[in-house]
Each structure stands twice: as C-alpha cells, then as structure tokens.
Amino acid sequence: MLLPSSVVNLPHVTLDSHSVEETQIIAADLARTLSSNTVLALHGNLGAGKTQFVRGLLEGLGGNPRTVSSPTYVLLNIYPSGRLTVYHLDAYRITTPADFEAVGFGELLEQEGIVVVEWASRVADLLPANAIQIHIDSTDENTRQITIDQPAPG
Ligand SMILES: Nc1ncnc2c1ncn2[C@@H]1O[C@H](COP(=O)(O)OP(=O)(O)O)[C@@H](O)[C@H]1O
Ligand SMILES: [Mg+2]
C-alpha cells in the first residue's frame, strides 16, 4: 500500500485495508490532513475497527496510540497528542441527547481539538453538518472497506 495522503483528503474515497496496520496507516494519513475543530463520525459494527482507527489517528497526530482504549463504559477518553487534543467518544450506550450532553459534548466542540465519535449514527442529529463521515465495513476476518466522506469546506 499505500496511497499518498492526498487521497484521504478527497471528498469521497473508499480504501481497502488488509490488516490492523493498514487501517491505522489510513487513519494516520487522514489525521495529518486535519485541522482543529474537526469532528470525525465513525460508523461500523462491533469489531469493525473503529477503535483501531482512532489509534491510527493518534499516530498521525504525533500522540501515543497505546493510550487509546475503547470509551464504551466511560463514554469519553481524552488524549493529548503532539498537535491536537483528541476527544474520543463512544455513543454505543447513548440513548438520549441528554446522555451525550452529560459528558459535555457541546463544550468539546469548542476546544480546538479533534472530536471522534464511535457509533456516530446513534447521535447523528447532534453532530455538526461538516463532520467527516467514516464507514468501516468488515469484508472478511482481516479485511475492511473504509469509506471517508468529507463535506466541502466553507
Ligand atoms: N483490517 C483491519 N482493520 C481493523 N481491525 C481489524 C482488521 N482486521 C482485523 N481486525 C480486528 O478487528 C477488531 C477491531 O476491534 P475494534 O477496533 O475494537 O472495533 P470497534 O471499535 O469497531 O468495535 C480487532 O480485534 C482487530 O484486531
Ligand atoms: Mg470501539
């Protein structure tokens, strides 16, 4: 692999990953193109690779991927990184918008960092319209199709 990082910056791109490492390289490539105040909405079933993707983001931002863990129970993890703080949310257990507000979601959007949300479809109405949408679909045990949709800037 892999494709130059300019590819991940296209309005719509689908990439095939054949391993955890490739998923993380794709995420790291994307991370290097991100500026502050960006929301990433991660979609995909349990075990698709959403949390592995977040590890790659940390790698690309100059942080420590090993600090990343699934925030399924705590709802929010915060990781400092070389460039931008990453706010990692998991909406799996979110049932009402009030649950999401309880973790201070509104304030997170004002922190000049990167906000990344697993199970984003559960809180789709609460996410900004310019969120980057990332779908991870399992195609086989070790292969994933990763689709990145970036809304037009402005
Ligand atoms: N190409 C791949 N990309 C990402 N994860 C993969 C891939 N192939 C196998 N896996 C496995 O899938 C699982 C993904 O777990 P995780 O990232 O926690 O999923 P999610 O957060 O979507 O529930 C891990 O066990 C990982 O080893
Ligand atoms: Mg996860």
Arithmetic mean of pLDDT over the chain: 92
pLDDT of res. 131: 97
- Alpha carbon distance 86, 150 (integer Å): 19
Does the structure show a pLDDT above 60 at 114? yes
Given the CA of residue 46, which atom of ligand 1 is nearest to it?
A: 23
Predicted confidence at residue 6, as pLDDT, reads: 65
Residue 143's pLDDT is 98
Closest protein CA for atom 9 of ligand 1: 142
Return the pLDDT at 95.
81
Cβ–ligand 1 contact at 77 (below 6 Å): no
SS3 53: helix
CA–CA separation, 99 vs 75, rounded Å? Answer: 10
pLDDT of residue 71: 85
Lowest pLDDT segment from 48-52, 71-75, 89-93, 143-147: 71-75
Ligand 1 proximity of 44 Cβ (cutoff 6 Å) = yes
Q: How many angstroms separate the CA atoms of 49 and 137, rounded?
A: 9
Name the H helices within 3-138: 20-31, 50-61, 97-102, 105-108
